[in-house]
Amino acid sequence: MLAAILYGPNRLELTEIERPAIGDDEILARVLAAAICGTDFRIVSGKKTRGIHYPSIIGHELSGEVVEVGKKVLEFKLGDRIGVAPIVPCRKCLYCRIGLENVCANRQAIGYEFDGGFAEYVRIPAVALESGNVVRLPDSIDFEEAAILEPFACCINGQKKANVSAGDTVLIIGAGPIGLMHLMLAKARGARKVVSSELFEGRRRLAAKFGADRVVDPAVESLIDVAKEETEMGFDVAIMAVGVKDLVGDVLKTVRKGGRVSLFAGFPEGDTSVIDPNVIHYNEIIVTGASSSTRQNFIEAMQMVEYGMVNLKQLISHRFSLREINKAFDVAKSAEGVKILIEP
241 near 176, Cβ under 8 Å?
A: yes
Residues 68 and 114: their CA atoms lie apart, in Å, by 18
Q: How far is the CB of 22 from Zn ion (least distance, A)?
A: 25
Exposed / middle / buried, residue 149 (Cβ in 10 Å: 0-12, 13-18, 19+): buried
Nearest approach in angstroms of CB 36 to Zn ion is: 9
Sketch the per residue contact string, 134 through 173, with Zn ion: x for CB under 5 A, - otherwise. -----------------x----------------------
- For 15-43, b/e burial (b = at least 16 CB within 10 A) is eeeeebebeeebbbbbbbbbbbbbbbbbb
Query: Which is nearer to Zn ion, 37 or 146 (by Cβ)?
Result: 37
Residues 277-306, interacting with Zn ion (CB under 5 A): none
* Binding test (CB under 5 A) with Zn ion, winner from 3, 28, 34, 37: 37
User: Are 205 and 183 contacting, i.e. CB atoms less than 8 angstroms apart?
Assistant: no
Contact 174, 198 (CB under 8 A): yes
Total binding residues toward Zn ion, as defined by CB under 5 A: 7
103 binds Zn ion (CB under 5 A): no
Report the Cα–Cα distance between both ends of the chain, in Å, rounded.
10
Residue closer to Zn ion by CB (options 96, 170) is 96
137: which strand partners?
Answer: none
Q: Closest separation between CB of residue 178 and Zn ion, Å?
A: 9
35 vs 186, beta carbon nearer Zn ion: 35
CB of 336 to Zn ion, least distance (A): 19
The runs of H, that is alpha helices, within 48-97 are 94-97
Which position among 93, 188, 280, 287 is part of the footprint of Zn ion (CB under 5 A)? 93
Q: Which is nearer to Zn ion, 102 or 254 (CB)?
A: 102
Are β-strands 255-263 and 235-240 bridged in parallel, bridged antiparallel, or unpaired?
parallel
CA proximity to 117, closest of 57, 74, 38, 47: 57
Q: Which residue lies nearer to Zn ion by CB, 151 or 337?
A: 151
> Closest separation between CB of residue 343 and Zn ion, Å?
17
Supply φ then ψ for residue 97, to 5 degrees: -75, -25
Exactly one of 2, 14, 90, 331 binds Zn ion (CB under 5 A); which one? 90
Task: In angstroms, give the least distance from the CB of 325 to Zn ion.
Answer: 16
Candidate list 36, 87, 104, 237; residue touching Zn ion; CB under 5 A: 104
- Give the amino acid at 315: L
Residue 169 or residue 293: which is nearer to Zn ion going by CB? Answer: 293
Query: Where does this chain touch Zn ion (CB under 5 A) — which range of 15-23, 95-103, 165-173, 328-336?
Result: 95-103
Binding site for Zn ion (CB under 5 A): 37, 89-90, 93, 96, 104, 151
